[in-house]
Amino acid sequence: MGTDTLDRRDALLRLLADGGLHSGAELAAALGVSRAAVWKALHRAADDLGLELTAVRRKGYRLARPLELLDADSMTSALSAPARQRLAGLEVLFSVDSTNTRLMQAAAAGAASGRVCLAERQLAGRGRGGRDWVSPFGENIYLSMLWRYPGGPAGLGGLSLACGVAVAEVLRQAGVADIALKWPNDLHWRRRKLGGLLLEVAGESHGPSHVVVGLGLNRRLGEQQAAAIDQPWVDLAAVLGDALPGRNRLAAGLIEALSAALAAYGDGGLAPVLPAWRAFDAYQGEPVALLMGGQRITGTCAGIADDGALLLKTADGLRAFHAGEVSLRPLAGGWVRA
């Protein structure tokens, strides 16, 4: 699709975002194109982005539900002065392969620490363990932040836990009372996945290094869109109902908290965050299986060690793990990921 077509689609969606009825003539005049071009662009956008668009005979078009598109100015103005100082540019994209990939590339090209990228949708969103991250348009949060550290990657082992705590605190403040963390940093609500973090680290072994922290948060996800998710999931709309926060306010809170956590980790490491992580620990005392490079180790969750490792009480005694995928809940015939 050419840039003109994309600009037109973007402009049309911004006009329709209020959820009100807009006539073809009004839209055509606003864009300086024919009504036929409006019709074509709208239908294409609805198909491509999975939007529910209603055409009301002789009156115009409206979206089934208003959209709150992401807006860099609105997010920036909701940030505290220190948070604004921590940032080095906030980019909002309509569509991208992956906000993490984009920032890893920007980092390699010299982008400054504190750069943030958000997108309305991802075409190749990535989750942990090589899985896809379902990333439909216009409702969820796909946010990545680049941070640089003087030391090597080995010192960043606890960072993913610190970031999980930062996000869990924002969600609790937004009213998600039962927010919990599944090691290392999955965001869970009543055993269902609400979001997750993907940290990608690069650098010299003795430093400097950089990390891109990518957060995916299900704010509103349709059943159909979520069909590809292979574990129990939930979205914020289901948890919070009418109290669902707007996307820009939510994203600003997340940027504020994540940038503070990334900066604080550089000063104090994981230690100051350990009590908070332990308080959010969803599976302490639960029977689990840890999948690690083709191996499956069973045991009981015994919390986390001071370096952030997962502690499992196994038949061979207490063991610490720095990597792997925790699976819970034995079912007749096997285990399911949770």
Beta strands in 5-71 (DSSP E): 53-56, 60-63
Please identify, using beta-carbon distances, which residue of 46 and 49 lies nearer to ligand BTN: 49
Report which residue's Cβ sits closest to ligand BTN.
Answer: 196
142 near ligand BTN (CB under 6 A): yes
209 contributes a contact to ligand BTN by CB under 6 A:
no
329 tagged catalytic: yes
Q: Which is nearer to ligand BTN, 64 or 123 (CB)?
A: 123
Query: 121 an active-site residue?
Result: no
Which CB sits closer to ligand BTN, 128 or 191?
A: 128
What is d(CA 54, CA 61) in angstroms, rounded to the nearest whole number? 6
Closer of 114 and 216 to ligand BTN (Cβ) = 216
> Residues 224 to 263: which contact ligand BTN by CB under 6 A?
none
186 binds ligand BTN (CB under 6 A): yes
**Binding to ligand BTN by residue 126, rule CB under 6 A?**
yes
User: Which two three-digit tokens encode residue 121?
Assistant: 């949708």
Identify the burial level of 219 via C-beta atoms within 10 angstroms of its C-beta, where 0-12 means exposed, 13-18 middle and 19 or more buried.
Answer: buried
C-beta closer to ligand BTN: residue 160 or 209: 160
Residues 39-78 close enough to bind ligand BTN by CB under 6 A: none
- DSSP assignment of 112-162: PTT-EEEES-BSS-B-GGG-B----SSSSEEEEEEEEESS-GGGGTTHHHH
Q: Does 125 bind ligand BTN (CB under 6 A)?
A: yes
Q: How many CA atoms lie within 13 A of 130 on its CB side?
A: 2
Backbone angles phi, psi at 311, to 5 degrees: -100, 130
Q: Is 184 in the site for ligand BTN (CB under 6 A)?
A: no
Task: Please select the residue that binds ligand BTN; options are 60, 75, 133, 137, rule is CB under 6 A.
Answer: 133
The least distance separating ligand BTN from the CB of residue 74, rounded to whole angstroms, comes to: 20
Q: Which of 220, 319, 329, 337 is catalytic?
A: 329
Instruction: Work out the burial of residue 331: count CB atoms within 10 Å of its CB; fewer than 13 is exposed, 13-18 middle, 19 or more buried.
Output: exposed
Indicate whether 127 belongs to the interface with ligand BTN (CB under 6 A): yes
Please, what is the minimum distance in Å from the beta carbon of residue 262 to ligand BTN? 15
Give yes or no for residue 136 binding ligand BTN (CB under 6 A).
no
User: What distance in Å separates the CA atoms of residue 287 and residue 296, rounded to the nearest whole number?
Assistant: 13
Contact stretch for ligand BTN (CB under 6 A) within 77-85, 165-173, 195-203, 315-323: 195-203
- Count CB-CB contacts under 10 A for residue 49: 18
Shortest distance in whole angstroms from residue 301 CB to ligand BTN: 18
- Token output for 186: 């999955």
Closest by Cα among 186, 202, 100 to 142: 100
Active site residue 193: yes
> Does residue 197 touch ligand BTN according to CB under 6 A?
yes
Parallel, antiparallel, or unpaired for β 310-314 and 209-217?
unpaired
Burial (0-12, 13-18, 19+ Cβ within 10 Å), 4: exposed
Dihedrals φ, ψ of 39, to 5°?
-55, -45
* 299 sits near ligand BTN (criterion: CB under 6 A): no
Does 99 contact ligand BTN by CB under 6 A?
yes
Tell me the CA distances in angstroms from 75 to 78, 246, 313, one per residue in order: 5, 11, 44
Residues at the interface with ligand BTN (CB under 6 A):
98-100, 122, 125-128, 131, 133, 142-144, 186, 196-198, 214-216
Instruction: Tell me which residues are annotated as active site.
Output: 128, 193, 329
